[in-house]
Structure 1
């Protein structure tokens, strides 16, 4: 009797899972369309005022894409409960760097990646890396250097952005934390990074000073094979 009482609940969960996946897919279509058209407009537009408007649209689009990806990850995490997978972190990082290619075109990217087999939920690892790289891009000035190093079970992402005051370092993993009202906050991205790292025994270390950029180091020792 107890066994069969869970059947309707299971069916409802499967229905909800399918509905959410379809909704996410439908949301992704207009986002992809806007992105493609922005790219085409930017290439063909030579008027300064119109160019600035396109830049504002692109900035809003990036924020929308980040929000979409965060919602997608939370849904997959809560409903699908992704299991650990064995994969090469180097290959996934290379794939994600390629995904951010358009946003990285005005940065100087320095990469040192070595093969590293790990066992962890791949969707979570991707989201963790995406959030860290996205922040490095967002807070780095045009023409600055972003370094990504994967070596000896450590993953490091370093930027030449505005840096973070020491008193704020312990707060940046709080959801929607911002240093002041004038500056853009960190959203829920870094909070998700910290949560994922804590769940998987990944150490997170931040080295940052105002005006000298930020370096985030992840210790992947506990998920290495």
Structure 2
């Protein structure tokens, strides 16, 4: 598709240049037009018409492709909802009707995997709504959201101890995007806390504070943490793009992002909401 599109654009562009040269030759050498103002107006109209046609030739196929891809994503998303709901309902029924410890553990693993699948479902729905410029902001309680995210992360990292101090805080904003930001910061805290199993999370004074007691960073590393593909520890899994995404989200949503870190002491991340919040 894109190869033929490039060829068509090149052919049209080449034909437009030839047409422009022939038009100039015809007006100047055949008709002997001496009114340069009239000639400039004709050339301008020719250039505008050519620009309109070449933009349609370039953009319309891509717009149609993106539209079809969005429709396919929406249909796939809709179809995914049914098996996810079926698995969740079935595991709940099996848990109620079973007393065997091994069976309950297996059901728990299925339920955890289903929850992760549902998270991917929610993320895909979030991306589709962002790309189609749908309203993704809503009123929600930040303290409740933090509790939900910690409960989810604890299923992945059951060895971690989370100390929570949560004051009630309600905002109007991008709930799904903030969920991804919280998950990312907590995940980084877990990865870089090999010698400590404790993470403190506070919601108070219109801010979220997440503190780990891991390996920490020096001043040079703090400067580079928002660079794409940068990782302070190359042995850690990941692609080094998470904090860059966190920074972009905070900039788009008027949230001040503050990092404090010391080597072998730990890292504190604060998300300070600049817009008015209410309890």
TM-score (ref. length: structure 2): 0.57
Report the Cα offset of residue 18 of structure 1: 3.2
- The 1:137/1:22 distance shift into structure 2, 3 A limit, reads farther
- The 1:122/1:180 distance shift into structure 2, 3 A limit, reads closer
* Alignment-derived partner of residue 230 in structure 2: 177
Report the Cα offset of residue 211 of structure 1: 0.7
Gap runs ≥5 in structure 1 = 45-60
Counting only pairs closer than 5 Å after superposition, residues 25-44 of structure 1 correspond to structure 2 as none
Higher helix share: 2
Distance 2:121 2:239 in 1: 15
Question: Is 2:32 aligned against 1:18?
Answer: no
- The 1:25/1:184 distance shift into structure 2, 3 A limit, reads farther
- The 1:220/1:26 distance shift into structure 2, 3 A limit, reads same
Indicate the structure (1 or 2) with the bigger Cα radius of gyration. Answer: 2
- The SS at the match of 1:101 is helix
Distance 1:115 1:11 in 2: 46
- Whether the 8 Å CA contact 2:191–2:236 is kept in 1: the answer is no
Count of aligned positions: 193
Report the Cα offset of residue 167 of structure 1: 0.6
Question: Is 2:154 aligned against 1:107?
Answer: no
Q: C-alpha root-mean-square deviation of aligned residues, in Å? A: 3.8
Counting only pairs closer than 5 Å after superposition, residues 71-150 of structure 1 correspond to structure 2 as 72=124, 74-141=127-194, 144-150=197-203
TM-score (ref. length: structure 1): 0.69
* Superimposed CA distance per residue, residues 106-151 of structure 1 (whole angstroms, 9 cap, x where no aligned partner): 1121000111111111111111111111111222226521001001
* Alignment-derived partner of residue 265 in structure 2: 212
* Superimposed CA distance per residue, residues 1-49 of structure 1 (whole angstroms, 9 cap, x where no aligned partner): xxxx9xx99886554223224556889989xx9xx9xxx89x69xxxxx
Q: Tell me whether 98-107 or 202-211 shows the greater mean CA deviation.
A: 98-107
- The 1:163/1:117 distance shift into structure 2, 3 A limit, reads same
Distance 1:102 1:86 in 2: 27
Gap runs ≥5 in structure 2 = 1-55, 92-101, 107-112
- Whether the 8 Å CA contact 2:154–2:160 is kept in 1: the answer is no
More relative contact order, 1 or 2 (CA 8 Å, 6+ apart)? 1
* Alignment-derived partner of residue 151 in structure 1: 204
Distance 1:113 1:181 in 2: 34
